Amino acid sequence: MSNNKAFTMVELVFVIVVVGILSAIFVPRMQGDRLQEAADQVISHIRYTQHLAMVDDRFDPNDNEWYKERWQIMFTRQKVTEGDEKVYWGYLIFSDTSAGHSGKAELKEIAVNPLDRSKKLVGGSSTMVMGARYNGANVTNNMNLEKIYGVTDIKFDTSCSPGGTARRIAFDYLGRPMKGDISSLSRSYDTNHMITKPCLITLFAGRADNNITISVEPETGFAQIVP
């Protein structure tokens, strides 16, 4: 007598239903965890940018525009590969040392990744980033937040993004945060560029209600996740 057994249609339907329920429970949590990982990483790099600014004071008595070289973290849409038309949300850390201080980043101006000194702290290339490619040997892939963590949008509130478009924060030698594009500064300290209220940076992953917000405090530059 054969002992072979086969699943009945009812059993197959039951398995499909159970798998669907488990997916509904665990997939959103996995997405949330990825968003949490992205936020934790961004906070770490905000703090590292502040650290660079404090230990690498850019004051130069022979350069009237030395203050435009302060270390900054900038969020921008980045391309993955050469010729790829699709862009993804990512970010970079750099000091605008080039002549003329364009506000854009060249590969030589981007910070070295302290965990892998063969790489730069940038996730890809864009109109604001010159000479770096997501799939190149000189980039830090996980800084492309959309490609790695599924972050589909990054928004700064008005307390730290003049006009809602300048998604960047710079720090002075005391670690105080500054908002906007510092290449437009006309003097070393401009009160209009100092962050005076908590700077809220919100990362979104797909749905508008699937988000996480980071706050960068005025004066101290302390970064943390807020409810």
> Strands 105-106 and 168-171, how do they pair?
unpaired
Give residue 30's domain range: 10-226
Number of structural domains (the chain) is 1
How many angstroms separate the CA atoms of 213 and 156, rounded?
A: 10
Residue 36 has pLDDT above 80, yes or no: yes
Is 4 a domain residue? Answer: no
Residue 98 has pLDDT above 70, yes or no: yes
Mean pLDDT of 49-78: 94
Is 150 a domain residue? Answer: yes
Is 33 a domain residue? Answer: yes
Is 1 a domain residue? Answer: no
pLDDT at 11: 44
Long-range contacts of 98-105 (CB under 8 A, 24+ apart): 101/65, 101/68, 101/69, 101/183, 102/183, 103/128, 103/181, 103/182, 103/183, 103/184, 104/128, 104/129, 104/130, 105/74, 105/129, 105/130
Is 5 a domain residue? Answer: no
- Comparing 32-36, 135-139, 152-156, the range with the smallest average pLDDT is 135-139
Residue 24 has pLDDT above 50, yes or no: no
Is 212 a domain residue? Answer: yes
Is 2 a domain residue? Answer: no
Residue 83 has pLDDT above 90, yes or no: no
196: amino acid identity, one letter: T
pLDDT at 78: 87
> What's the mean pLDDT when you consider all of the chain?
85
Is 220 a domain residue? Answer: yes
Nearest to 190, CA basis, from 205, 178, 200? 178
- Comparing 113-127, 141-155, 181-195, the range with the smallest average pLDDT is 181-195
DSSP-derived secondary structure for 91-147: EEEEE--STT--S-EEGGGBPBPTT-TTSBSB--BBTTEES--TTSTTB-GGG-HHH
Find the DSSP H helices in the chain. Answer: 9-55, 145-149
